[in-house]
Structure 1
Amino acid sequence: MINQNDISKETMWEATITCDSAYDGLFFYAVKTTGIFCRPSCKSKVPNSENVSFFGDAANAQKAGYRPCKRCRPDLKSKTYDPFGSIIEDTMQIIEKNYEQKMSFDEIATKVGVSRFHLNRLFKDRTGYTPLMYLEKIRINKAKDLLLSTTLNSTEIGYQIGYQSISSFYNAFKRHTGLTPSQFQANYVEKASY
């Protein structure tokens, strides 16, 4: 296993200025002028090299009087830290637990504590969906379950899963399945009878 003593100062400096996550957990860097220490992958402003010290672990950086960075959280025991993972997870949980309610994108962003622009970009980068696309996906999956497991009609299902208009529900359902709700139901019944 590589430790900090096996890595040259030049390599550590290069990893620091390029925010190379491959070195996370192998060393930490501290900045004398701020009194803060970080992981190599931290996206904070690049410090002047003469103000930087390197440490093999977080405990030694703290013993030397440095505080952990609030952005990259080098004090956490995990090798890497994803500050946005909890935002994605929280957004998904909010949508999954409240899909049947009328929800605005602003409300979701406020609940997870970021701007709507930041949430939209971050969520799309990580999941391939915008939060509203994800909401629609959850609703349509629930509609498919209800179509196959209840005697509710399409209109009742559309309202139950949170659509304010039936045409919005039908359009979303067709976008996701290529079928209308009744065609989807008929296809399933036809396949089940074979």
Structure 2
Amino acid sequence: MGLTRQRMLALAEARDRRYDGRFLTGVVSTGIFCLPSCPARQPKPENVRFFFSPEAAGGAGLRACKRCRPDLFYQRRDPDLEALEGLVEAMGQAPEDFVDVEAAARAAGFGRSKLHRLARRHFHASPAALLQAARVARARELLLTSDLKILDVGFEAGYESDSAFHENFLRAGGLAPGAYREMTRGGAFVLQLPSDFNAPATWSYLGRDPDSVTELVEGTRKAWRVFRHGRSPTTVELERRGGQLRVRLP
């Protein structure tokens, strides 16, 4: 179906995002031009003119809408995505600066619902999950590079209580903060397995090749895997004990 005037009016009324970049809606009564998906109030049809480039709309004396930013769209820029990426970077650098999701939304210039929608669209995660990931990453860095007490590491990473720090850190990686720090000082550590951990499926995957020279399983309790570390082979031994997985390194 061609882009007749009636068709473009209908698409603009429907705010069909799929047609962004196909045409522009100019509103002579307000002097602006918009993308078809613009959330602004619908103009009267008699005040609408259609254009196929920002230059043509500008040549007719119209200026770009400040809400849908068709000028940036045609430059292949997405101001919302740029703001979101800036927020994620800022959270990664200093998660302690963001008390909660509302603070993150304010920093990005979004409402909470818009931030949630954009985070889901571009990062496939909620804003709360992104903030938690940044806090855990910061805590891991401090645990390995500083002599701060465990409690102080949690505060430095943005957690307001010791219990919240331990709970979220353990959930993220299966290790408590103290065990994570000790992991680099010894040849073994213990991971807490999730309640829905499927041991038979995991061991079946590890032992999928009975002739493998790099993987070996024993029932659904023990497994060994060889991988290259630098120039030397390294063997990792896994042993499941109830809801825990003991990992031994050479």
3-state SS in 2 of match to 1:53? strand
Match of 1:48 in 2: 44
1:1-194 pair list within 5 angstroms: 7-76=3-72, 78=74, 82-101=78-97, 103-116=99-112, 118-120=114-116, 122-124=118-120, 126-148=122-144, 154-185=150-181, 189-190=187-188, 191=236, 193-194=249-250
- Distance of 1:185 and 1:26 partners within structure 2: 55
Change (3 A) 1:14 1:124: same
Query: Any conservation in 2 of the 1:28–1:54 contact (CA below 8 Å)?
Result: yes
- Distance of 2:163 and 2:28 partners within structure 1: 61
Larger fraction in strand: 2
- Distance of 1:91 and 1:124 partners within structure 2: 14
Change (3 A) 1:31 1:76: same
- Bigger-Rg structure (1/2): 2
Aligned residues: 189
What is the TM-score of this pair, normalised by structure 2? 0.61
Larger fraction in helix: 1
Q: Give, as a single letter, the amino acid of the residue that structure 1 aligns with 2:67.
A: R
3-state SS in 1 of match to 2:92? helix
Change (3 A) 1:45 1:142: same
- Distance of 2:127 and 2:18 partners within structure 1: 30
Change (3 A) 1:77 1:144: closer
Cα deviation digits, residues 133-165 of structure 1 (max 9, x gap): 322211212333444556655334323323333
Change (3 A) 1:151 1:131: same
Change (3 A) 1:162 1:181: same
Change (3 A) 1:19 1:117: closer
Unaligned runs of 5+ in 2: 189-235, 237-247
3-state SS in 2 of match to 1:45? coil
Change (3 A) 1:41 1:79: farther
Deviation at 1:84, TM superposition (A): 2.3
3-state SS in 2 of match to 1:76? helix
| Stretch deviating more after TM superposition (25-34 or 75-84) | 75-84
What is the TM-score of this pair, normalised by structure 1? 0.76
- Distance of 1:22 and 1:110 partners within structure 2: 29
